[in-house]
Structure 1
Amino acid sequence: MTMQGASPRLYNEDLAPATVRNWGPFSIFNVWTSDVHSLWGYYLAASLFLFCGGFVNFIIAIGIGSLIIYALMNMVGYAGAKTGVPFPVLARASFGTFGANIPALVRAVVACFWYGAQTALASGALVALLVRTDWFLQFHQNYHFLGHSTLEVICFLLMWGAQLLIIQRGMETVRRFQDWAGPAVWIMMLILAVYLCVKAGKFAFTSDIPMDVLLAETKDAGVPGLPGSFEALAAVAAIWVTYFAALYLNFCDFSRYAPTTKAVRTGNIWGLPINLILFSLVAGVTTIAAYDVYGEVLLHPEHISAKFDSWFLALLAALTFAVATLGINVVANFVSPAFDFANVFPHQIDFKKGGYIAALIALVLYPFAPWETGAAAFVSAIGATMGPIFGVMMVDYYLIRKGEINVEALYNENGEFRFQSGWHVNAFIAAGIGALFSSILPAFTNWLPAWWGVYGWFFGVAIAGVIYYALRSAAVGSGAKAARA
């Protein structure tokens, strides 16, 4: 699509408003099956189950969190469907035509971290399968490279390369891939749960994991309260919401291809609260059954499948988990930085080149493995960095602009969104103060309560949003007075 008067520094075909709108409710639904049905999604759900102390508590906490996620995703999803633009272009309305590069790069860096984390878990599924063979087990134990076993490095590179093949043909290939990858892992998760329940001799919705085991497993996670307490349940809901912090920003990268906001809403209702609760239910049942069968808490599904007596079932599980994790990586952690990096240099970087840059950064991060920490702590730390950006963008879109944006002006460097030479100072002041309380103070000082970090994303959204609204209202008031004078 060609935009009249578009600046070459702000425009290329990948960043232009979407003209082909064929992502119906099923494709939107499968954005979430691809995003949730991964090894990291399961690992987080199983980890959070331990904080709840029981199954009913778990479903209540996850259910509340899932409804919040649904509401937030609709907010940014509607903006994408209405404007047809990707996240970095939408951010120009609040941060300025060139200032939008900063939140875009923040989102891109976070995506690179997640890209590496998901690729590492996908490769771990292959490692868990291969070490069932004595030769691979010996190779795994005796040979090391870059701080990992050589077998882990080889499997990581295989998974890393496989993802690049998926995106060779653009977003339509991504849509087709996710339409079958997400449902595939649902089938495998059900097989895993049924297998363990049959082996345990029961189907249990009640947990018999002793409290001392729960305390031992959760003591270093940074979640307040004892398992099952109100404090712990509130934290579980908050962490579950924060897990999706990255996609609150760039869900419009996908919803821009939806024909209507109704398609977004329908896909979201099935893909978020309904799908999330059912997936979490399966994760909880599997965690209980795995403890009954093996006498230990197993949070990683590839570790469970590695214990299967059947080689074929273990192979099927490993391949399915690997494919599903590639699905979330392509959807959540490749598409976003591809657009984000393209937004910085539209003439030099297109969608594919931007994705390659993200993949290379993830590869460089692999030896350092910054994602090898507790699931809850990792999600909270990563998610908190993006709350202030979301707060500014949503306040700008819904409260300041009432959901109406001049799309053509988003591509004009001398138009409505120029602000201060392409940078909107008020947006950066608000986001900076929000980041101070969401990320910087909790991470680097002990000035705030210990529980603050769990809710860092929420504080970032609220503080940045309120400050931005106040600054914008003051600016509009000053402009009106100047005009009357």
Structure 2
Amino acid sequence: MSAPAAPHPAPAEPGSGPAPASHLEDRHRSNRRLYNDDIAPRDDSAGNWGTGNLFNWWMSAWHSLGGYAFAVGLFALGLNGWQVLLGMSVGMVLSLGASNLMGVAGQKIGVPFAVFARISFGVFGANIPALIRAIVAVAWYGIQTYLAAMAVKILVIRVWSGAADLDNNDFIGLSSLQWICLLALWALQLMVLQRGMEAVKKFSDFAGPTIWIAMLALALWILAKADWHLDWNANFGAEAPGFWHGSWLILGAGFSTVAFMAGPILNFADFTRLGHSPGSVKRGNALGLLANGIAFALVSVVIGIASAEVYGEPVTDPVALIAELDSIALVLVAAIAVSAAQVGVNVILNFVSASFDFAHLWPKRISFKIGGAITAVLSIVIMPWKMYSTPAIVNTFLGGVGALIGPLFGIIMADFYIRRRQHVHIAQLYTDDPKGIYHYRGGVNWRNIAAFALAGGITMIIALADVFSDFAPFSWPIGAALGAGFSFLFQDRRQPVD
């Protein structure tokens, strides 16, 4: 099945959604520098993602090894249980606002994120945000696949002890068993994506709820081992902070929660462009991101506190707890749930984004499926197990590049909602005519490029320089605000908005 797209994009009046496909001028449809079927505007018949689908999408986004590890990792700041839960809840509310902005915009315009970025950066300049998002997605896709494979390896040995014999050799840093687990998950994810976005939707609908089986079973099991005792005021990391410092840390935890989902929020239009209506997007976000996200945070914190009661400190790896389950049947169920959830989160948060972004870089030669194949191959070529084993690489490279997401979000949202007041000529997004609205100079809006470079440079310093470590959790909102501000400051007021 092909990726989501109408076979022919359509022109639109300012502020309108995609018009009937038959109305598109041939010169736009034949422009293979800017168009292929996979990045075309949504046909009205393709808007089949409802509230329930987006609810499950958010469940897949949060229900993962990374989501649990992130929540429990906040204890290391010196926060206690209720402070971690409060900080994450604040972050969920902030994320809801950001997701509604990008999600509703994507549903109204009906184009993938990379094409949406043409409004602010130009029909060719949009390749810059597309490439940055693709780099982050490929790196995290590789790392997440590797981590999921290592989790599966532990569970395989737990179920079948003889598999340990395959874990005693080494080839390019991985044992035979590790390679088997890695390539099995790698192939499963590629298979899902190659069947198109309808398969992604169905898999998300399955994977999102599945992890609740493992998480709830794990919570009940570890609570029983802790004699049902939870100390919500205990501090397991650094020394307990005072009131003001604690408040700062809670706020930082909130914005760290936003940053944790900053990449998927940025390219949320890749999914919401298939939404039924703006209302369905908002309802899906409210139920899946806010209500379900807070519930998942609550269960994660409970497991973290209970595991500290049993083992002396919060266990950040849920697989280590699953491997301790007494019942082989429960281990098998948990293994299936965790594997499905991890594949789901990786596909929707990283794989789809990178596939669209690569297709956008060279529409004439790269389709959505080819972009997926490129993503899959690169995720192995970068040897994510070596990246992950070197924290300096992860923190410096991914932390630095990730700090650029905030400025991109600020520029694109401010341009769409404030400057253009949601008025967009969709057909003009697919033309390289120098007189086109989004052609700017040579197809690039150099003013917004300058705004992005300046705001991004500041946020990278904040995110990476030790002297600004106290402000690092706030790099996303700082970047978004600076990006929007510099964009307005640098804009050419002689340039017509429509």
CA 1:238/1:66 → structure 2, altered by over 3 Å: closer, same or farther? Answer: same
Amino acid at match of 1:185: I
| Aligned-residue CA RMSD (Å) | 2.4
Structure 1 moving runs of 4+ over 6 Å: 224-228
- Matched with 1:313 is 330
| Residue of structure 2 aligned with 1:28, choices 54, 63, 68 | 54
**Which residue of structure 2 lines up, in the alignment, with residue 358 of structure 1?**
375
Aligned residue number for residue 426 of structure 1: 447
Of 235, 241, 248, which aligns to 1:231? 248
Q: Which range moves more in the overlay, 338-347 or 262-271? A: 338-347
Cα pair distance change 1:59/1:441, threshold 3 Å? closer
Counterpart Cα distance in 1 of 2:96 and 2:74? 19
C-alpha distance in 2 between matches for 1:177 and 1:161 = 15
* Residue number in structure 2 paired with 1:16: 40
Which residue type is aligned with residue 199 of structure 2?
A: T
Q: Structure 1's 452 and 228: CA in aligned 2 closer, same or farther, altered over 3 A? A: closer
Letter in 2 for 1:215: A
Superposed displacement of residue 293, structure 1: 2.5
Shift in Å, 1:130: 2.5
- The answer as to 2:294 corresponding to 1:277 is yes
Distance in 2 of aligned mates of 1:238 and 1:453: 10
Cross-structure match for 1:103: 129
Displacement after TM superposition at 1:204 (Å): 2.5
TM-score w.r.t. structure 1 length?
0.90
Offset at residue 350 of structure 1 (A): 0.7
Confirm or deny that 1:401 pairs with 2:428.
no
1:467 corresponding residue in structure 2: 486
CA contact (8 A) 1:12 1:347 kept: yes
* Alpha-carbon offset, residue 138 of structure 1: 4.7
Normalised by the size of structure 2, how large is the TM-score? 0.88
| Partners of 1:388 and 1:431 within 8 A in 2 | yes
Is residue 153 of structure 1 aligned with residue 179 of structure 2? Answer: yes
Matches within 5 A, 1:307-386: 307-366=324-383, 369-372=386-389, 373=391, 381=400, 383-386=402-405
Query: Would the aligned equivalents of 1:81 and 1:256 in 2 still touch at CA under 8 Å?
Result: yes
Match of 1:92 among 113, 118, 122: 118
Partner of 2:261: 244
1:8 and 1:168 map into 2 onto residues whose CA distance is 22
Alpha-carbon contact 1:117-1:371 (below 8 Å) kept: yes
1:332 Cα deviation from its structure 2 partner: 1.1
Q: Which amino acid aligns with 1:464?
A: G
- The one of 164, 171, 188 equivalent to 1:137 is 164
Q: Is the 8 A contact 2:146 2:182 kept in 1?
A: yes
Task: Tell me the residue number matched to 2:305.
Answer: 288
1:89 positional shift: 0.4
- Residue in 2 aligned with 1:483? none
Structure 2: distance between partners of 1:376 and 1:99: 27
Asked whether 1:40 is paired with 2:66, we answer yes
Q: CA deviation at 1:147?
A: 2.2
Return 396-405 or 4-13, whichever deviates more.
4-13
Note if contact 1:51-1:233 (Cα within 8 Å) is conserved in structure 2. Answer: no
Counterpart of 1:221? none
Any stretches of 5+ residues in structure 1 without a counterpart? 219-223, 481-485
Q: Counterpart amino acid of 2:415?
A: D
CA contact (8 A) 2:72 2:314 kept: no
The CA distance in 2 between the partners of 1:250 and 1:355, in whole Å, is: 16
Q: Establish whether residue 120 from structure 1 lines up as the match of residue 137 from structure 2.
A: no
State whether structure 2 residue 103 is matched by structure 1 residue 77.
Answer: yes
Contact 1:65 1:238 in 2 (8 A): yes
Distance between the aligned counterparts of 2:175 and 2:459, measured in 1? 36
Question: 1 CA distance for matches of 2:472 and 2:226?
Answer: 38
Pair 357,116 (structure 1): closer, same or farther in 2 beyond 3 Å:
same
Alpha-carbon distance, 1:248 to partner = 2.0
My pick for the range that moved more, 47-56 or 261-270, is 47-56
Mapped to 2, the partners of 1:58 and 1:435 lie a distance apart of 29
- The range that moved more, 409-418 or 146-155, is 146-155
Task: Quote the residue 2:411 is aligned against.
Answer: 392
Q: What's the CA shift for 1:134? A: 4.2
Count matched residues. Answer: 465
Structure 1 residue 191: Cα displacement: 0.9
Output the amino acid matched with 1:330. V
Q: What's the CA shift for 1:106?
A: 0.6
Q: 2:190 corresponds to which letter in structure 1?
A: L
- Distance across 1 between alignment mates of 2:155 and 2:244: 33
1:15-55 deviations in whole A, cap 9, x for unaligned?
11112101000011111111110111111111124435322
After TM superposition, give the deviation of residue 237 of structure 1 in Å.
1.0
Q: List per-residue Cα deviations over 1:74-103 (Å, max 9, x = no partner).
A: 000011110100000000000000110111
1:368–1:302 CA distance, 2 compared to 1 (3 A): closer
Contact 2:146 / 2:385 at 8 angstroms: preserved in 1?
no
| 3-state SS of paired residue (2:61) | helix
Partner amino acid, structure 2, of 1:428: I
The answer on whether the counterparts of 1:385 and 1:438 sit within 8 Å (CA) in structure 2 is yes
> Identity rate of aligned residues, in percent?
36
Matches within 5 A, 1:55-70: 55-70=81-96
Structure 2 segments unaligned to the other structure (5+ residues) = 1-5, 10-24
AA aligned to 1:303 is A
Q: Distance in 1 between the 2:244 and 2:227 partners?
A: 26
